[in-house]
Amino acid sequence: MAKQQQREKRSSSELPRHEADPAAGPVHWSVIESPVGPLLAAEQAGSIVRLNFLGDAAPDPEPHWVADDAALDALRVQLGEYFAGERTEFELDVRTVGTEFQMAVWAALREIPFGETATYGDIAEAIGRPRAVRAVGGANHANPVSIVVPCHRVIGADGSLTGFGGGLGTKETLLGLEARALAAGAA
């Protein structure tokens, strides 16, 4: 428990940072209000590069980023539709930067259907690394584009809700939202 509290109290400077491509132009950021709290969003050259839950250990915008609400309008609209139970898939360009392993995990996360879940073991199997279950958890935690790259759909082998950067209550809320939307015929 003490180790978990230490991890949660890390400063934003200790968290992974987005590696912007200077050749791609400026990174634009905005805070998007949502039913699960404010989200820090960033885009570069039309691609979403970050979507994080703001909280005690949330990263701040990079110093060179430019505040620009309009640049994130498409994401803001699609998130609004998602939270209203009207959208089951995001139609956005997403660019993530990570190791080859992380990129494979994040691609596998995007294959988990709306309203369904997969275990860390399922993801490890899907990427051809069945023994890398713990590493899948680490890659899941490092996901820079939450919700759109649905790391909230990954659960423990026993079906329990396990670690989530936005908090387990948020994970439960997102999974419940998706279940209700499916029951109402959104998919």
3-state secondary structure of 138: helix
* Environment class of 52 (CB within 10 Å of its CB; exposed 0-12, middle 13-18, buried 19+): buried
Q: For tokens 């110093």, name the residue.
A: 63
* Environment class of 154 (CB within 10 Å of its CB; exposed 0-12, middle 13-18, buried 19+): buried
Q: Do residues 153 and 170 make contact, with C-beta atoms less than 8 angstroms apart?
A: no
DSSP 23-34: GG-PEEEEEE--
Distance CA 20, CA 49 (A): 8
Question: Do you know the residue count of the chain?
Answer: 187
Q: Examine the residue annotation and report whether 111 is marked as an active-site residue of this protein.
A: no
Catalytic residue from among 40, 75, 151, 181: 151
Radius of gyration of the chain (CA): 16
Active site (catalytic) residues: 151
